[in-house]
Amino acid sequence: MNKIYVAKSDTALAVIEKVIKAPEAEASLYIPKNSLISTSRNNFKLLKREAKSAGKILTIESVDDDVLELAESFGFKAVNTFFGKRKSMVDIIAKDSDVISAPIVEIKPDKAGKDGIKSEYEEDAATPQRGKFSFMKVVMVVFLVGLSTGIIAFAAFALPKANVSLALEEINWDFAGTLLVGSKTQTASFADNQIRLPGVIFSETKNVTKLYVATGTKNVQKNSKGTVTIYNAFNAESQALVKNTRLSAPDGKIWKTDKAIVVPGAKITNGKVTPSGVDVTVTAEKPGPDYNVGPIPKFRIPGFQGSPRYEGFYGVSLQPMAGGFSGVTKVPTDADIKKAKEDIETVLRASLKTATFLELPPDIKILNNASDWSITREQIDDVADSQGKFSVTAYGEIKTIGFKENDLIGVLANKLISESKIDLTLRKKSFNYDDTRLDFKRGEMSSSLNFTSIWARPFDVEKFKSSIAGKNETEIKTVVYAIPGFKSGGVKLWPLWVMRAPNNSGKITVDVEYKL
């Protein structure tokens, strides 16, 4: 069906010639408000007669109720376009040729009349009919005209919108090969189905102490232990003390140093001596609870007695001496120790892994089996405490090697682009790593790699919206067909009479889907 637009200044003759020239039998004739043809009933009578003679079936469209009323009175189908359907859908299918609807042709009437039409029109136009209006009717007409004008103006400037739906091509691409990560590798590379990436090694040390129930009993003789700080207030020279150096408390009880130490020299400034000290663990000379004492304000070194060093070197314990025992007590059995070691190793391993991952940079990828950990030392109390529990302390270390997964994606993207010869962006991806092997001596890790992905050509929605703003259907099609990877799409302009996309790109929406 052709759509014919009537200008406000078109005479009846001009309108009739447009109808007769229309290529199709059915046509929609849009008559605007306050047009010349609507000033006389005879114009519609003449239009009806000539359309019938030419074999044309007309539908009259208008927002003017008076025009619609005149049209209906002469048997035309009349449609109010403002209150009717507002959407227009134009399908776009990617193909070799595009079908363009026949343009609306405006034919200027000849100065001379044809077939008696002109004289009949001019006779009627010279003497238009005048209705009789009451005052209230005039007020109502003025109100309706103002309301209609306001609505049309609002619709013209506020309502126009455009929606473009696009289906763009996507590409599946898979890769299966080997991933090699090395701490000495400087740059990412691809060769012989192998991807080499720079790697980084992380290490973490940690210790964990836990208490466990002891189920055995034993007659135990245990010496008290503690820590003493040995001070040098004698001179600026350091002093060596051998292992088992005796320290005497004010009450005469003796503790011995657990190892050899060197006490640093005092600091002497302008004759003022500032003592320097060093900590050392000590063990009571005899077992039993009598040595569970302290803190002790001053230890003497009996070995220096009788020399000036006796007053210049001394010890201080800030914490009590503890652990001295004599008698039957709870002790861990071999089964208790085995169970405790299994548990604490599990706890330590989890603690090490947690500490490692908390310190990792967010862009570093660690594979599931890319870590190696070990227990470096264990300390197990052979006697339970007063609650019947013994303590176990485990020291451990974990090493792991990681890489930047973005480096891996970059290598794969370069590989795909070099094969396809087109610019592509990654939309979806999946990595599957398997058979991971570590060699921390060489600082390397290897793994099999299976990579599945979906790619598409880059598409900038905002740039596209700006490129179609203010364009008509044909111009929009030209832009759409030029999109790399375009498969199909559609354009919706709203309201019905809108012929172009809004100039404001903010009123244009674009829905994009990707298809294989």
E runs forming strands in 332-473:
364-365, 371-380, 389-404, 425-439, 444-456
CA-nearest of 86, 68, 110 to 161 is 86
Residue 384 and residue 147: Cα distance in Å, rounded? 97
Three-class DSSP category at 207: strand
Query: What residue ranges of the chain have pLDDT lower than 70?
Result: 81-139, 141-142, 145-159
Residue 158's pLDDT is what? 53
Closest CA relative to residue 240, chosen from 225, 262, 271: 262
pLDDT for the residue numbered 86? 35
Please give the pLDDT value at position 124: 44
Q: Work out the number of other CB atoms within 10 angstroms of the CB of residue 119.
A: 10
Residue 487 CA, chain-centre distance (Å), reads 28
The letter for the amino acid at 57 is: I
Q: Are 210 and 350 in contact (CB under 8 A)?
A: no
Pairing relationship of beta strands 200-213 and 189-191 according to DSSP bridges:
unpaired
Q: Side chain identity at 178, as an amino acid letter? A: T
The answer to whether the peptide bond before residue 32 is cis (omega within 30 degrees of 0) is no
Taking the C-alpha atoms of residue 193 and residue 412, their distance in angstroms, rounded to an integer, is 11
Residue pair 275/259 in contact by the 8 Å Cβ criterion: no
Separation between Cα atoms, residue 284 and residue 292, nearest integer Å: 9
Instruction: Compute the distance between CA of residue 58 and CA of residue 3 in angstroms, rounded to an integer.
Output: 10
CA–CA separation, 509 and 283 (whole Å): 82
Q: How far apart are CA 219 and CA 505, in angstroms?
A: 91
> What local confidence, expressed as pLDDT, does residue 22 receive?
85
Q: How long a stretch of residues is the chain?
A: 516
Per the structure block, which two tokens stand in for 3? Answer: 């759509």
Strand partners, 58: 27
CB 473 within 8 A of CB 126: no
Cis peptide before 295 (omega within 30 of 0): yes
Question: How is residue 200 written in tokens?
Answer: 């980084």
The three-class DSSP label of residue 275 is coil
pLDDT tens for each residue of 254-279? 999 999 999 999 998 888 899 999 99
Peptide bond into 198 cis (omega under 30): no
| For the chain, domain boundaries | 2-85+99-128, 218-329
469: region left, alpha or beta (phi > 0 left; psi from -120 to 50 alpha): beta
- Tell me the residue ranges of DSSP E strands in 31-96: 57-62, 77-80, 88-93
Instruction: Note the CATH number of domain 218-329.
Output: 2.40.30
* Residue tagged 């201080």 (tokens): 316
List C-alpha distances in Å: 344 to 215, 242, 265: 18, 36, 42
CB 64 within 8 A of CB 31: yes
Structure tokens at 304: 């220096």
Give 374's strand partners. 397
Is the distance from CB of 86 to CB of 494 less than 8 angstroms? Answer: yes
Please give the span between the terminal C-alpha atoms of the chain, in angstroms, as a whole number.
37
